[in-house]
Chains A and B, each alone.
Chain A
Amino acid sequence: MRSLISVLLIILLSLLGGIPDIVEAGGRGEVRESVRDRLVFGLSGDPNTLDPHATTGTLTFQTMRSVYDTLVEPDPDGRIVPALAESWSINAEGTRWTFHLREDVQFHHGRALTAEDVRASILRLQDPGFASPSAHEYALIQEVRVLDDHTVELILSGPHAPLLATLASGWSAILPADLIREGHDFDSEPLGTGPFRFERWVRDSEIRLSRNENYWQPGRPLLREVQFRIITEQAVMAQALMTGRIDVADIVVEPELSLLRQSPAVRIYESPSALVMVLAINTRREPLDRLEVRRGINAAIDKQAVMDTAYAGGEVVGTFMDVANPYYLDFTDLHPHDPEMARSVAAELTGGRELVITLPQNFEPHVRAGELYHEMLRNAGFRVRTQLVDWSTWLSDVYREGRFDLTVIGHTGKLDPHGRLAQFGTDQTYVGWEDPPTVEAIEAARVTLDPEKRFEHYAIALRRMAEQLPFVFVGSPVRYVGLNAELRGFYMDSRLDTADLRNVRFEAP
């Protein structure tokens, strides 16, 4: 009997641990404000760090875009416009860049922004001990001179046109010099000049921001609070958006996209993405080193079908540039879809060699695209096999070491075409395609400041790539964001893949 009582006691005691859950489960736990000025933003993953200098991860910039500012920023038309710097000038040689800072900017801890903060931020990015993954973008800056409190000069070892776009990108966030000096923990306690101040980060759960009342843009931001909610399951994200538990789903793909389109509570925000989806070809390997074989592979692929089926729609491209980019040129007619030609190549030129398509297993759309490529190539008579690897294996084996035949990936764009094209044509890229004219054109565009002349240089490079096919260039997909139907003023910069929340508000009911 005594033993029974102790069993019951133990069961009871452990039950008590669970009871609060059961008792409290009655309510829906959801509070609807009468005036909505609190945004819940569904984020598809947890950032590794909140330090924009320490990562290339989109999730960091997606959240920190609202906490930090940059010297300049992109506008919706792709122009670079003033932000923390109200104006700037570049000398004729392109080696001396002078920025005049706004005088009404305050960091969230109350100190005014000065040129010293810009200097400290750039030095931090360049510091080999800090090892920023973006350091190479600032490598040409030899010196950062503080001319006075609100004037700063960058001295370059040579002209470098992409620098302006770099300074407008999230990783060029300006951090306060005093906290950098003190060794502040920017990884988990970001502090900048942006429209929202950082409140807290519960890893793998949420990031909370509140309005910066002293933001330098008058009357902005409109929201009082932003909560980034980390939801990794797409199905859960869609259900949360449909039931109003979140207001933004940062990225939506099929099959949830079709579901959300039917919901009256949801509006789908579409923007052309800066991605170029490719079937990358290892041009170092037999028989892929031969242009005719690459043309055969290219001819076997029905690109529009792949875009529609695997990537939820988008526009076909013929070269290494996204359709919405000002530097885009249409080469789609150069190599049309031609299964007949593909068949003769497969029969005559591959020597029966099996081609392996290596797919990054964590990206469902790429896996789906890979299955389509497999099918299309097999129908054209190629011997193919598909192999799935996880992301970090893909990065090291395929991307860094070039151990693959064919692989499927999307190449992101940057604000400047150099970000996408740098190194192509040299032996440094994973496709191993070497082409001196391309290298020359990309280098000429890099050191040229005049946009029209740059366009001409890039046109040469893009034509070479379209002709030589180091990739099957497939298309640029559409970027879908799911929004609460009452949300207004939302803007997503598709080249930086980050949302601008300064003008976001809820429509009065």
Chain B
Amino acid sequence: MGVRWVVSLLAQAVAVIFLVATSSFFLLQVIPGDPASVVAGLDADSATVERVRQSMGLDRPLHQRYFEWISGVSRGELGVSHVQRRPVEDLIRDRLPVTIRLAGFALLLSLLLGLGMAVIASAHSAGTTLTRLLEYGAFAFPQFWVALILLYFFSFRLGWLPMFGVEERGSMILPAVALALPNAAVVSRTARASLRELLQGNHALAARALGIPKSRVFLIHLLPLAMIPVLPVLAIQAGYLLAGAIVVEQVFGLPGLGRLTLSAIVQRDLPLIQGIIVVFGLAFPLLNASADFLVGLLWPRLRHGQSS
């Protein structure tokens, strides 16, 4: 992990932020829906709507607003929310802990579930069929629906887990499961393919030739190697978890970034939407970099561009 790596990572992050910030700013200008009308409400006359528009600064020319905003972004200031009238970075900071907790828990669950499924599939031919079915299921059922079904059984029927909010004990379990299922399928598929390859490779043959028991070869020598392609996939998936959080946080009433995103879009709170897009945009290069970092840390031989 040299200086060059860090520098290129930073350059990449800056470029991504700039591109994402600029394109989101201009794209949001062309979508229909007027933020001032939303805030002013049904009863306001046109003079009131105009006053509200001015108080939002939307009456000023586009290029002026763009340069103000983009220079703000370079200083780490994302503007002020039209609707909540607070700095966007504060709003996002308030919501991040819930979403990070949810996504982190879901990521972990998807890793454990996915690896478990892959191991079962590789260990037995009947396991392959079962795993495939589970994978299809996890992909095919919409998260929204899965979340409601989980809620119905475990909260409403059985009363084991809370229905909403984050204060009560165990409140993250159902949301994390709902969020983790599609990811678990992705992990399982990737790990399964890589395990199959490894089982037929020289590693396995050599280990068997040395008389190491099969299960030991599998769990200690092959599984860690199978993780190598899984980690980058997981990093990409972590980004998608943030998107899935929009649905899951809505169903379970979690005050996270997903809820904030949805209400910002519904209310056309442009500075807030832009700010969230920048933060999400930043998440992808960061997650990719941390996956690279982890792979390098765990498998030092891969660090200098050597492949196994």
Chain A interface residues (CB < 8 Å from chain B): 1, 3-4, 6-7, 10-11, 14-15, 17-18, 21-22, 24-30, 46, 48-49, 54-57, 128-129, 131, 133, 135-136, 187-188, 202-206, 229-233, 235-236, 239-240, 242-243, 245, 362, 389-393, 395-397, 399-400, 411-412, 414, 419, 423, 428
What's the nearest-Cβ distance from chain B to residue A44, in Å?
A: 11
B55: nearest chain-A partner, CB-CB? A131
Q: Kindly state the separation between the CA atoms of A13 and B52 in the bound complex, as whole angstroms.
A: 50
User: Which residues of chain A are near B267, meaning CB under 8 Å?
Assistant: 48, 392
The answer to whether A3 and B224 have CB atoms under 8 Å apart is yes
One of B129-137, B162-170, B190-198, B201-209 at the interface? B162-170
Q: Kindly state the separation between the CA atoms of A263 and B105 in the bound complex, as whole angstroms.
A: 36
What's the nearest-Cβ distance from chain B to residue A8, in Å?
A: 9
Given contacts A18-B109, A28-B160, A49-B85, 13 further A-B contacts (CB under 8 A): A17-B104, A21-B169, A22-B173, A29-B162, A55-B41, A56-B43, A133-B39, A133-B43, A203-B94, A205-B253, A205-B255, A236-B163, A400-B49
The answer to whether B42 and A392 have CB atoms under 8 Å apart is no
A389: nearest chain-B partner, CB-CB? B32
What's the nearest-Cβ distance from chain A to residue B45, in Å?
A: 6
Chain B interface residues (CB < 8 Å from chain A): 32-35, 37-49, 51-52, 54-55, 83-86, 94-95, 101, 104-105, 107-109, 111-112, 148, 151-152, 155-156, 159-166, 168-173, 176, 220, 224, 227, 250-255, 259-260, 263, 266-268, 294, 297-299
Q: Kindly state the separation between the CA atoms of A202 and B259 in the bound complex, as whole angstroms.
A: 13
Q: Kindly state the separation between the CA atoms of A392 and B268 in the bound complex, as whole angstroms.
A: 7
What's the nearest-Cβ distance from chain B to residue A415, in Å?
A: 13
User: Which residues of chain B are near A128, meaning CB under 8 Å?
Assistant: 51
A235: nearest chain-B partner, CB-CB? B148
Q: A25-B169, A392-B33 are in contact. Are A18 and B51 (CB under 8 A)?
A: no
User: Which residues of chain A are near B44, meaning CB under 8 Å?
Assistant: 56, 133, 136
Q: How many A-B residue pairs have CB under 8 A?
A: 188
The answer to whether A233 and B251 have CB atoms under 8 Å apart is yes
The answer to whether A390 and B266 have CB atoms under 8 Å apart is yes
Q: Kindly state the separation between the CA atoms of A48 and B170 in the bound complex, as whole angstroms.
A: 29
User: Which residues of chain B are near A412, meaning CB under 8 Å?
Assistant: 42
Q: Kindly state the separation between the CA atoms of A7 and B259 in the bound complex, as whole angstroms.
A: 33
User: Which residues of chain A are near B111, meaning CB under 8 Å?
Assistant: 11
The answer to whether B220 and A202 have CB atoms under 8 Å apart is no
| Residue from A131, A188, A240, A389 within 8 A of B163 (CB atoms) | A240
| Residue from B43, B46, B163, B172 within 8 A of A239 (CB atoms) | B163
A128: nearest chain-B partner, CB-CB? B51
B85: nearest chain-A partner, CB-CB? A187
Q: Kindly state the separation between the CA atoms of A128 and B51 in the bound complex, as whole angstroms.
A: 8
Q: For chain B, what secondary structure do more than half of its interface residues adopt (helix, strand, loop), or is it mixed?
A: helix
User: Which residues of chain B are near A30, meaning CB under 8 Å?
Assistant: 168
The answer to whether B41 and A56 have CB atoms under 8 Å apart is yes
Q: Kindly state the separation between the CA atoms of A18 and B173 in the bound complex, as whole angstroms.
A: 9
Most chain A Cβ neighbours within 10 Å, of B101, B172, B227 = B172
User: Which residues of chain A are near B95, meaning CB under 8 Å?
Assistant: 204
User: Which residues of chain B are near A46, meaning CB under 8 Å?
Assistant: 259, 263
The answer to whether B172 and A131 have CB atoms under 8 Å apart is no
User: Which residues of chain B are near A202, meaning CB under 8 Å?
Assistant: 255
Q: Kindly state the separation between the CA atoms of A30 and B160 in the bound complex, as whole angstroms.
A: 10
The answer to whether A3 and B298 have CB atoms under 8 Å apart is yes
User: Which residues of chain A are near B48, meaning CB under 8 Å?
Assistant: 133, 135-136
The answer to whether A57 and B165 have CB atoms under 8 Å apart is no
User: Which residues of chain A are near B42, meaning CB under 8 Å?
Assistant: 56, 395, 399, 411-412
B35: nearest chain-A partner, CB-CB? A392
What's the nearest-Cβ distance from chain A to residue B161, in Å?
A: 6
For this complex, 13 residue pairs linking A to B, each with C-beta atoms less than 8 Å apart, are A25-B170, A28-B159, A49-B83, A55-B41, A56-B44, A131-B52, A136-B44, A231-B253, A243-B159, A243-B163, A392-B34, A396-B32, A414-B43
B300: nearest chain-A partner, CB-CB? A3
Q: Kindly state the separation between the CA atoms of A17 and B172 in the bound complex, as whole angstroms.
A: 11
B31: nearest chain-A partner, CB-CB? A393
User: Which residues of chain A are near B41, meaning CB under 8 Å?
Assistant: 55-57, 133
The answer to whether A428 and B164 have CB atoms under 8 Å apart is no
Q: Kindly state the separation between the CA atoms of A22 and B112 in the bound complex, as whole angstroms.
A: 15
| Residue from A29, A204, A391, A419 within 8 A of B168 (CB atoms) | A29
Q: Kindly state the separation between the CA atoms of A393 and B266 in the bound complex, as whole angstroms.
A: 10
User: Which residues of chain B are near A3, meaning CB under 8 Å?
Assistant: 224, 298-299
Q: Kindly state the separation between the CA atoms of A21 and B172 in the bound complex, as whole angstroms.
A: 7
User: Which residues of chain B are near A392, meaning CB under 8 Å?
Assistant: 32-35, 37-38, 266-268
The answer to whether B266 and A18 have CB atoms under 8 Å apart is no
The answer to whether B170 and A239 have CB atoms under 8 Å apart is no
User: Which residues of chain A are near B254, meaning CB under 8 Å?
Assistant: 205
B170: nearest chain-A partner, CB-CB? A25
The answer to whether B32 and A397 have CB atoms under 8 Å apart is yes
The answer to whether A21 and B251 have CB atoms under 8 Å apart is no
The answer to whether B156 and A243 have CB atoms under 8 Å apart is yes
User: Which residues of chain B are near A6, meaning CB under 8 Å?
Assistant: 297-298
The answer to whether B298 and A136 have CB atoms under 8 Å apart is no
What's the nearest-Cβ distance from chain A to residue B154, in Å?
A: 10
